[in-house]
Amino acid sequence: MPENPVLRRRIRGRPLSAGGYGTTASLVLVSPLILLLVSAFAYPVGRLLWNSVFTPEPTLAHYARIIAEPLYLIVLWRTFEIAFIVTALAFLLGYPVAYAMARVQGRRAILVAACVLVPLWTSVLVRSYAWIVLLQRNGIVNTVVQEMGLSKAPLQLLYTEGAVILAMTHVLLPFMVLPIYSTLRNIPDEFAKAARNLGASAPQAFLRITFPLSLPGAAAGTLITFILALGFYITPALVGGPSTLMMSTLIAQQTTELLDWPFAGALSAILLVSTLLLAALYRRALSFSKGFSNG
């Protein structure tokens, strides 16, 4: 009786799909995604960066303009500063929420998950306009403050850096919560129980067992949140003002209002290179800390 190759793979314990697709079939299946990435991302970004140097003659004048005029460096620094503050706040607020999601059961778990996921399913534009309703001069916050007698005149809450940080933290919070939650959920409860049986208190068990094991999720969440905050456009444009101008808003102004595409490409290149450099340094720091702790 001839040997069945499918049965042989099943007996050996290998998944049936391990050798089910050849190279040609795999390329055919992946080709729509590759075509979409090339046409909708790689080509536009590459063309924008190309125009920043070749306009049509090779020149670095646009990059020299960024360095020569302090305004653009100030905007770049403000962008990274706001992104760092938003990431830190998202971590401080998101870690307890992720911990609660991983530990509660039943209806409470569904309620906590809904509080995290429903805002994620809502449009960023809607959430940004909601903050405008809350923070405007006749908004809910100013009304409550005046009724409590804390201020006689409406406070300037909207179009400030604080409003931008608050709104961006709210919008990006799920991107911090979900990676941490996925890591915490995979940590067995027996680890903390064993630490408690060996004499550790609940805070000691958390700080020495649970928190170190959740650091991969925290690292992924902070990196995702930071990168998204660097390129955020809708929320800073709606709730921010001229004093809170960020790189994404500045690039949009150069393309849509001034029609200076080469200079917008130079600004995009500076932001892209800075982001990739910080991401590489962040990953290097994480790998170094792992090696140091293991040593």
**Cα distances (angstroms) measured from residue 54 to each of 21, 61, 259:** 43, 10, 16
**Is 73 a domain residue?**
yes
Label residue 245 by pLDDT band (50, 70, 90): confident
Please indicate, yes or no, if residue 244 is contained in any of the structural domains.
yes
Q: For 31-70, what is each residue's pLDDT tens digit?
A: 999 999 999 888 888 888 898 888 778 888 889 998 888 8
Whether the pLDDT of residue 3 is over 70: the answer is no
Asked whether residue 50 is assigned to any structural domain, the reply reads no
Name the β-bridge partners of 89.
Answer: none
d(CA 45, CA 294): 40
What's the rounded mean pLDDT across residues 216-245? 89
Query: For residue range 177-207, what is the model confidence (pLDDT) as tens digits?
Result: 999 999 999 988 888 888 888 888 888 888 8
- Residue that is written with structure tokens 């808003």 in the block: 249
CA–CA separation, 110 vs 112, rounded Å? 6
Where would I find the H helices in 104-188?
107-121, 124-135, 140-147, 161-185
Kindly state whether residue 156 falls inside one of the protein's structural domains.
Answer: yes
Residue 80 belongs to what domain range?
59-287
Which distant-in-sequence residues (6+ apart) come within 8 Å of 157 by Cβ? Answer: 135, 136, 139, 141, 142, 163
In 22-155, DSSP assigns E strands to none
CATH number at residue 103: 1.10.3720.10
pLDDT of 4 over the 80 cut: no
Is 208 part of a structural domain of the chain?
Answer: yes
Q: Which DSSP symbol is given to 155?
A: -
When divided into structural domains, the chain yields a total of 1
pLDDT of 171 > 60? The answer is: yes
Model's pTM, two decimal places? 0.83
Q: Is the pLDDT of residue 224 over 80?
A: yes
Does residue 239 contact residue 232 with C-beta atoms inside 8 Å? no
Residue 192, domain member (yes or no): yes
Residue 166 structure tokens: 């608050």
Categorize the per-residue pLDDT at 88 as very low, low, confident or very high, splitting at 50, 70 and 90.
Answer: very high
> Is 71 a member of any domain?
yes
Give the span between the Cα atoms of 271 and 248, in whole angstroms.
Answer: 9
| Assigned domain for 220 exists | yes
Percent of the chain with pLDDT over 90: 28
Average pLDDT of the residues in 205-213: 89
Q: Which of 2-11, 99-108, 163-172, 254-263 has the lowest mean pLDDT?
A: 2-11
Asked if the peptide bond before residue 56 counts as cis, ω within 30 degrees of 0, the response is yes
| Amino acid 183: pLDDT | 93
Average pLDDT (155-167) is 89
